[in-house]
With several copies, the nearest count.
Chain A
Amino acid sequence: MLPFEKITLNDIVSEVHDGTLLGIPADYSGVPMTFTKELIKKKVKNLKLYCLPLTTIQGDMLIGSGCVTEIEAAAVSLGEFGQASRFQDAVINQRIKVKDSTCPALHAQLQATEKSVPFMPLRGIIGSDLLEYRDDWKVIKNPMECSGKEGEEIILLPAVQLDVLVFHATKSDMNGNIQIGRRRELATLAHASKKVFVTVEEIVDEDFYENEVNAAATLPALYIDGIAVSKNGAWPCGLTGKYNPDLEELKNYSLAAKNQNTFDSYMRVFLNSDNLKAAQ
């Protein structure tokens, strides 16, 4: 008996349903692209994406494939390859609802769930138009006498709990603990999700808790509902310390995504590509 749930990509995909609120890691946190591929193949609909705090190709592909009806994010772009065209197109044509946010608010809403409190306060935001369109954010006057500025207005952000989080990581140990290094936003995401699945490059025959330094870089198995091995699972995105982004492929995508027809052609090839080969 393995001490954790070793599963397949398809097992993970089967946990995502129409309407699922799905956690989306930033491009630096381990983008689960092989999972995304399978998710698109399943033709799941009405996903709500919660980005911490932004998404690049993963979000744009899901949107272009018609899987998404709502997205909460501080930014959607293709980074140095410019704007995320499928996202832009869906917004302009009102096919998706955008809950426009700002990075620290997206972090704080998950921290509220992490601590199991109904809300988190945050400074800033007031006076921006973001607030005008967020019924779920609330402005109060600071009720404290001994801390903060007297009478200052402050925003309360709701606790948000994700239905499912999927991210890609370098490795898990034999007990199902995940090495996340400095990407501690993945811990916050995991703490705030009902279910957490991870794709990894490999499962190694080690115990990350055997020394304190390794332990410090670890997300405990306690929060993980299943792990699937997926070699080059972030491709064409990069994976810190393992491989760089495939700049050529990302550029190709950015060009193809400019209109729906060329996007569709690109996706037909992409969805049927062999990931192992694709990543060289």
Chain B
Amino acid sequence: MNKLDLKFEELLISILCDLLSNDNHVAVGAASPIPGAAALLAKEEQKIKGKKLRVTILHSLRFNNFTDGARELFDCAAQGRIDTFFLGGVQIDEQANINLVGTGDYPNLNKRFSGSFGSALMYYVVPKVILFREEHSKRTLVKKVDFISAPGVSDKNLYRPGGPKFLLTNKALFSFNKRKKVFCLEKTAPGINQNDIEKITGFKYDLNNEIKNFTYPSRERLDILRKVIAPMVSEFYPNFAKRIWFR
């Protein structure tokens, strides 16, 4: 990809890592190798600076210190003890509503997906939720989702300290403005410009005054990622680690 022989997944890991630099506790749910690697990378970089970042990776025995059973993630988040969590979406819409259930007219769906997981609580209580969906298309980023697994914003009469802060795809990074209920294009992937994004996005969004390209990771960061983080990721996402780093 560039002279560092950078993998695209490594670039996404690096972009996510930049979003975690001021956190105390990042949690990563199931089936999230790229967010998981990003969180561990951020932790390692903080350690070098003498600061501490706690990372909980549910899918791992080693990076999951919970001892109160499967409900502890949700209790812990509701207590305000988790700063950042990642969510995906079969569809994500203009108001940051996410759909993990299916497409069509629920319950008469055309296509059924897994289900809402913990999103209907986590999205409400974790202050910085990062939406991560690799596919960037009018199919995934839509005007209005077919089913709201969890809404992007809520009425004032709800307890809602949490919500979406960023959306990362393989083409762009958006921020989300909670007050205006709108995404804002912040960065684009290498070789992609603002017009390209408009053509493949199914919803309207604001534009940052200064839209940048995805920042490449430094040589130093890439070294840490490949030498320190990749073996860790092997523990809980062996297939992913093998595909990216060890084949």
Footprint of B on A, CB under 8 Å? 1, 3, 26, 28-29, 52-54, 73-77, 79-80, 83-84, 87-88, 91-92, 94, 98, 100-105, 107, 111, 113-117, 122-130, 133, 148-149, 151-154, 177, 182-188, 191, 209, 215-216, 218-223, 240, 247
Cβ-neighbour of A127 out of B66, B100, B122, B158 (below 8 A):
B158
A104 touches B155 (CB 8 A): no
A124 — which chain B residues lie within 8 A by C-beta?
A: 120-125, 150
Main secondary structure of the interface of A (DSSP, over half): mixed
Question: Which parts of B55-72 form the interface with A (CB within 8 Å)?
Answer: 56, 61-62, 65-71
CB distance from B59 to the nearest CB of A (A): 9
**Do B52 and A104 touch across chains, with their CB atoms under 8 A apart?**
no
Binary per-residue interface labels of chain B (70-101) against chain A in the complex, 1 for a CB within 8 Å, 0 otherwise: 11011110111100000000000000000011
CB of B113 closer than 8 Å to a CB of A = yes
Interface core residue of B56, B67, B119 (most chain A CB under 10 Å): B67
Contact residue among B108, B119, B157 (Cβ-Cβ distance under 8 Å from A102):
B119
- Evaluate contact between A113 and B121: CB separation under 8 angstroms: no
CB-CB nearest in chain A for B108: A94
Give the CA-CA distance A232 to B30 in the complex, in Å.
25
Contact between chains at B71 and A102 (CB < 8 Å): no
Question: How many A-B contacts at CB < 8 Å in the complex?
Answer: 190
Q: Are A183 and B157 in contact (CB under 8 A)?
A: no
Contact B159 A182 (CB under 8 A): no
B191 located at the interface, meaning its Cβ lies under 8 Å from any Cβ of chain A in the complex = no
Cβ of A123 and Cβ of B159 under 8 Å apart?
A: yes
The residue that B115 contacts in the complex, of A76, A111, A149, A215, with Cβ under 8 A, is A76
Residues in B with CB closer than 8 Å to A117 are 78
The 9 A-B residue pairs with the shortest CB-CB distance, nearest first, are: A184-B69, A116-B78, A102-B120, A124-B121, A75-B115, A104-B74, A77-B114, A103-B118, A127-B151
Instruction: Report yes or no: A222 in contact with B31, Cβ–Cβ below 8 A.
Output: no
Residues of A within 8 A of B149 (CB): 102, 128-130
Contacts of B52 in A (CB 8 A): 3
Is the beta-carbon distance between B125 and A116 smaller than 8 angstroms? yes
Q: Is B22 an interface residue (CB 8 A)?
A: no
Residue contact B112 to A91, C-beta cutoff 8 Å: yes
| Cβ-defined contact, A222 with B69, below 8 A | no
Task: Given A80-B31, A102-B121, answer yes or no on A116-B111 (Cβ-Cβ < 8 Å).
Answer: no
A247 to B71, CA, bound (A): 27
Question: Do residues B67 and A128 form an inter-chain contact, with CB atoms below 8 A?
Answer: no
* Residue pair B112, A88 in contact (C-beta under 8 Å): yes
Can you report 16 residue pairs joining A to B where beta carbons are below 8 Å apart?
A26-B70, A53-B70, A74-B116, A75-B117, A92-B109, A92-B112, A104-B71, A127-B148, A129-B149, A133-B106, A184-B68, A184-B69, A191-B76, A191-B79, A220-B65, A247-B239
Beyond the given A73-B115, A102-B149, A104-B121, could you list 10 further A-B residue pairs with CB under 8 A, ordered by the A residue number? A80-B239, A84-B114, A102-B117, A104-B71, A123-B125, A128-B120, A148-B159, A153-B157, A186-B69, A209-B61
In the bound assembly, the distance between CA atoms of A83 and B20 in angstroms comes to 30
What 1/0 flags go to B179-200 for Cβ under 8 Å of A?
Answer: 0000000000000000000000
CB distance from B240 to the nearest CB of A (A): 8
Contact across chains for A87 and B112 when beta carbons are under 8 A apart: yes
* B residues whose Cβ falls under 8 Å from a Cβ of A: 25, 30-31, 50, 52, 54, 56, 61-62, 65-71, 73-76, 78-81, 100-102, 106-125, 147-151, 154-155, 157-159, 237, 239
| Interface-centre pick from B61, B76, B102, B159 (highest chain A CB count, 10 A) | B159
* Known contacts A116-B125, A133-B106, A185-B70; A127 and B116 CB within 8 A of each other: no
Select which of B62, B65, B112, B118 is within 8 A of A53 by beta carbon.
B118
**Contact between B67 and A102, CB atoms less than 8 A apart:** no
Most buried by A among B31, B81, B115, B157: B115
Q: How far is the CA of A114 from the CA of B30 in the complex (A)?
A: 23
Chain B residues contacting A92 (CB-CB under 8 Å) are 109-112
**Closest chain A residue, CB of each to CB of B122:** A124
- Asked if B78 contacts A126 (CB within 8 A), the reply is no
- Find out whether the CB atom of B117 lies under 8 angstroms from the CB atom of A74: yes
- Complex contact B109–A125 (CB within 8 A): no
Chain A residues within 8 Å of B157, by CB = 149, 151-153
The reply to whether B154 and A126 form a contact with Cβ atoms under 8 Å apart is yes
Q: Is the CB of B112 within 8 A of A105?
A: no
Q: Identify the closest chain A residue to B78 (Cβ).
A: A116
Assembly CA distance A117 to B79 (angstroms): 9
- Which residues of A sit under 8 angstroms from B67, Cβ to Cβ? 182, 184, 187, 215-216, 218-220
Measured CB to CB, the closest approach of chain B to A181, in angstroms, equals 9
Closest Cβ of chain B to A32, distance in Å, is 17
